[in-house]
Amino acid sequence: MNEYNPHRHAEGTQEDRHPQPHEGTNPPKHTNYFNLSGRTAIVTGGLGLLGQRFCKALADCGAQVAVVDLDQAKVEDFAHELADSYDTYCIGVACDVSDPESVARMVDAVVGQQHHIDILLNNAATKTDNMGEFFAPFETYSLTQWRKVMSVNLDGMFLVAQAVGKWMIEQNTGGSVIQTSSIYGELGPDERIYEGSQYLGMPINTPAVYSASKAGVIGLSKYLATRWAPYGIRVNTLTPGGMESGQNDCFIQKYANRVPLGRMGRPDELTGAVLYLASDASSYVTGHNLIVDGGLHAW
């Protein structure tokens, strides 16, 4: 790794206590900023709509990717696909991010095979199996459903960040943590766009639990950014706008009308942001919320 000076000093100036990128060496060429060769990246939610694209982008830039999701056979198959396509070492590890013991086993498995962790893309999220309950009105939303979503979307973020962060501190070579949020962690939903809108054939909205959990991710990232800065561990949030993923034409058009670029996003349009935050290109960026939403926030 060349992102951080691996030595920390217990005493000395504030500058001494912070690992300095490229200290004592020539900065990398600009064309090499996104080179992740030799770095290990964990991607939770690695089989999801966004997770698969993130894994491919990281592997394409040379990272050794640990694909993390619920199904062991599927994560292994996808890891093999990545390894074959991008000629890099990848593994698949099953993990329920809402279960502390499962998270601990996942980190042990990654360290056991890769020996270090340089990048964490904390990306797992859930809508739960019962979409009717997930999209229920706020006034009748069940506490059980609320807790199911929170257990993954926020508790899972906490558990994975905690377990990986401990290891990054111990290995003492810095690292990059990227946590996925949503524009609805920053903005309230415009209920007008949901009139006549459907997702996979059923009426949709943005549930309060989704907004609350994603807002929590942004707050957690800022907290960890300041706490882990002395160890050279950068923590940032990636906040995507709406992505096309099975919504009907009514929703897509109404959403697009609220976006200056006039359309919903495509998952591949997030990979550049991921590579920026994962790599030396963002070596002086921490505590930031990188919003990729086609300009929706500008209105």
Contacts of 278 (CB under 8 A, 6+ apart): 36, 41, 58, 63, 119, 121, 176, 178
- Output the six-digit token pair for 154: 């926020």
Tell me the helix, strand and coil percentages in the chain, rounded to 5: 45, 15, 40
- 210 is a catalytic site residue: yes
Least confident of 131-135, 151-155, 288-292: 131-135
Mean pLDDT score of the chain, rounded to an integer?
A: 92
Written as one letter, the residue type at 148 is: K
Distance of CA 118 to the CA centre of its chain: 14
Domain 34-128+150-190+208-244+272-294 has what CATH class?
alpha beta
In the three-class reduction of DSSP (H, G, I as helix; E, B as strand; rest coil), residue 40 is classed as strand
Query: Could you say which of 86, 184, 194, 210 is catalytic?
Result: 210
Distance CA 262, CA 163 (A): 40
Which residue's entry shows tokens 């060496």?
A: 25
Q: pLDDT by residue (tens digit) across 7-60?
A: 333 333 444 444 555 555 666 678 788 999 999 999 999 999 999 999 999 999
| Mean local confidence (pLDDT), 133-147 | 95
pLDDT at residue number 8? 37
Written as one letter, the residue type at 277 is: L
Q: In the structure, what pLDDT confidence band is assigned to residue 122 with cuts at 50, 70 and 90?
A: very high
Distance CA 63, CA 76 (A): 17
pLDDT at residue number 11? 39
Mutual angle of helices 72-86 and 51-60, in 10-degree steps: 30
In the three-class reduction of DSSP (H, G, I as helix; E, B as strand; rest coil), residue 191 is classed as helix
Distance of CA 261 to the CA centre of its chain: 24
Q: pLDDT by residue (tens digit) across 225-280?
A: 999 999 999 999 999 999 988 899 999 999 999 999 999 999 999 999 999 999 99
